[in-house]
Amino acid sequence: MKGRAILALMALMCLAGCGGQTGQVGTAVPGAQTAIQNKGSDTMVNLALAWAEAYGQIRPEVQVAVTGGGSGTGIAALINGTVDMANASRPIKDEERADAEANGIEPVEHVVAADAIAIVVHPSNPVDGLTIPELAAIFSGAITNWQEVGGEDRPIVLLSRESNSGTHVFFLEEVVRQGRADDETLFSTDTLLMPSSEGISAEVRQNPNAIGYDGLGYVTDDQKVVAVAPAEGQPYVLPAIDTVKDGTYPIARDLYIYTIGEPQGAILAYLEWIMGTEGQAIVKELGFVPLQGAE
């Protein structure tokens, strides 16, 4: 039995080892099949798939292969040169940029859409609005009962994505630390780190104590979205395309695609299409926020 387990492990290691080397860097050869490797953010994976599929309809000679794994994974793959485009729900870190340059690769940033982070609770939760300082206190563990923010006498159960997700990092910086660079507050150790968006929604759906956050595109009807105010005394705003565009919803971010150097050929054409009318219509369809003036 042990031997079999080890064999399986060897097979897995072999697979993993081989997998890393098959990524081919797409080059635009006129008239021939072109493959573009696209990898990264799980938040953006559905969006990237929808783009790739729609683009395949109008440009069948260009094949876009999309994989998820997380923003960090995508950027790491870009640094190793195994993908052409990396999707990221956070900007590239300085150390990642340094790693890339050490590898002779210059990552170029393109903003392709925006995303609102919605705060979700159980539908029976009477709390309708929270301020950013209240959210910071809740997620850092200073407030542990719903009563303290105008709810029922219930313990608060915190839900978050895993710490390697771009959404997690964004939420830590913009909400838990309230955008202050010198702030070293962390998530409460009682925060449940869920491996997937589905994990968060499953728990929010059935647990009246829960509070979680996720990209607006992932919020389903059976969760309640809480309105957010930047501070006490300011208006509470619900996340929506309009409120993200006019900047009134406070927890919104840009979504990025990174390319190796200035994009050229097939990759440039694909990026231009993404940022054009058709690409941005798909952004809106999937619950993300299109770029300014792209409609």
Partner 1 sequence: MRKLEPRKREFIIETVIRAAGFSAIFFVAIIFLFLLKEGAPAFWQVSLGNLFGQRWYPNEEMFGTWPLILGSLLVTVGAVMLALPLGLATAIFVRELAPDWLREILKPLIEVLAGIPSVVLGFLGMVTIAPLVRQYLGVPTGLTAFTGSLMLAYMALPTIISVAEDAIDAVPKEYRDGALAMGATHWQTIWRVVLPAARSGVIIGVMLGIGRAIGETMAVMMVTGNAARMPHELTALFMPARTMTATIAAEMGEVAQGSTHYHVLFAVGILLFVVTFIINAVASFVVIKGGPRRGGRLMG
Determine contact, residues 211/157, Cβ cutoff 8 Å. Answer: yes
Those residues whose C-beta lies under 8 Å from the C-beta of residue 264, and which sit 6 or more positions away, are 28
* Closest by CA position to 76, among listed 48, 105, 50: 105
Q: Match 């573009």 to its residue by tokens.
A: 36
Site for partner 1 in 171-190 (CB under 8 A): 172, 184, 186-187, 189-190
Q: What Å distances lie between residue 126 and 122, 130, 151, 196, 238, CA to CA?
A: 9, 12, 6, 26, 15
Of 58-66, 131-139, 196-204, 237-245, the segment contacting partner 1 by CB under 8 A is 196-204
- Does residue 54 touch partner 1 according to CB under 8 A? no
Considering only 48-56, 100-108, 203-211, 239-247, which stretch makes contact with partner 1 by CB under 8 A? 203-211
Could you give the string, one character per residue 90-119, with x where binding to partner 1 holds by CB under 8 A and - elsewhere? ------x--x--------------------
**What's the CA gap between 190 and 210, in Å, rounded?**
12
Q: Which of 193, 225, 240, 269 binds partner 1 (CB under 8 A)?
A: 193
**CB-based contact 262:127 (threshold 8 Å):** no
What sign does the CA torsion over 88, 94, 95, 96 have? positive
The residue from 100, 121, 194, 216 that contacts partner 1 (CB under 8 A) is 194
Q: Is 286 exposed, middle or buried (0-12, 13-18, 19+ CB in 10 A)?
A: middle
- The β-bridge partners of 120 are 212, 225
116 strand-pairing partners: 252
Exactly one of 69, 81, 133, 265 binds partner 1 (CB under 8 A); that residue is 69
Contacting partner 1 within 233-262 (CB under 8 A): none
Give least dist CB 155 to partner 1, A.
4
CA angle 173, 123, 287 (to 5 degrees): 55
To partner 1, the closest distance from the beta carbon of 207 in angstroms equals 6
Residue 213, beta-bridge partner list:
119
**Binding residues for partner 1, total number by CB under 8 A:** 40
Query: Which of 127, 169, 269, 294: binder of partner 1 (CB under 8 A)?
Result: 169
- Answer yes or no whether residue 210 interacts with partner 1 by CB under 8 A: yes
Choose which of 6, 12, 111, 281 interacts with partner 1 (CB under 8 A). Answer: 6
148 touches partner 1 (CB under 8 A): no
| Chain residues in the site for partner 1 (CB under 8 A) | 2-3, 6-7, 9-10, 69-70, 72-73, 76, 79, 96, 99, 154-157, 162-164, 169, 172, 184, 186-187, 189-195, 199, 202-203, 206-207, 209-210
